[in-house]
Amino acid sequence: MNKRRIYVTEQDMERLEDLLETSKKSEYARSLEAELVNAVVVPSEEMPPDVVTMNSCVCFEDLTTGNRETITLVYPGQANMASGRVSVLAPVGSALIGLSVGQTIEWPMPNGRKRRLRIVEVLYQPEAAGDFHL
């Protein structure tokens, strides 16, 4: 996994730490936990609008295949792949949290391959929309 600077809201950090405390320590949970140690934590009101936060709808590109996907990043209990709601504990979810438009990351997949992802656009971010209750 590449070193990267990620941004997380105070509220998301609190909730993610609680989630990690109670979750089974999968490889992706451990990776997310390691990322959060170095995260820049900011108040929701100060979050740049181009950063992927929890409940954001984001378009990203797989740089290997050129395929683009749009997903909403959610907590595990809200995940539903059929409707594009991806858990932060899923491989792609833990890869995207905290990235901003234009950033890329190389992320190991369960089959041993690696994906290179680039954030194309944050279509909806709760903090930018003033939806601080999500």
The reply to whether 41 falls in a domain is: yes
The reply to whether 20 falls in a domain is: yes
Residue-level pLDDT at 1:
43
The reply to whether 57 falls in a domain is: yes
Residue-level pLDDT at 5:
80
For residues 14-53, one letter each, b for 16 or more C-beta atoms within 10 angstroms of the residue's C-beta and e for the rest, the string is eebeebbeeeeeeebbebbbebbeebeebebeebeebbbb
State pLDDT tens for residues 73-91: 999 999 999 999 999 998 8
The reply to whether 121 falls in a domain is: yes
State pLDDT tens for residues 47-62: 999 999 999 999 999 9
Question: Quick check: 102 pLDDT over 60?
Answer: yes
The reply to whether 134 falls in a domain is: no
**CATH (domain of 48):** 3.10.50.30
Residue-level pLDDT at 74:
97
Which structure tokens are listed for 38? Answer: 């170095």
Single out the residue of 121, 132, 124, 122 nearest to residue 45, CA to CA: 132
The reply to whether 2 falls in a domain is: no
Q: What is the number of domains present in the chain?
A: 1
**Residue recorded with tokens 């984001």:** 58
State pLDDT tens for residues 18-53: 999 887 777 778 888 888 988 999 999 999 999 999
pLDDT, greater one: 70 or 3:
70
- The whole domain housing 39 covers 7-129
Residue-level pLDDT at 2:
45
Which of the four pLDDT bands, split at 50, 70 and 90, describes residue 3?
low
Which structure tokens are listed for 34? Answer: 């390691």
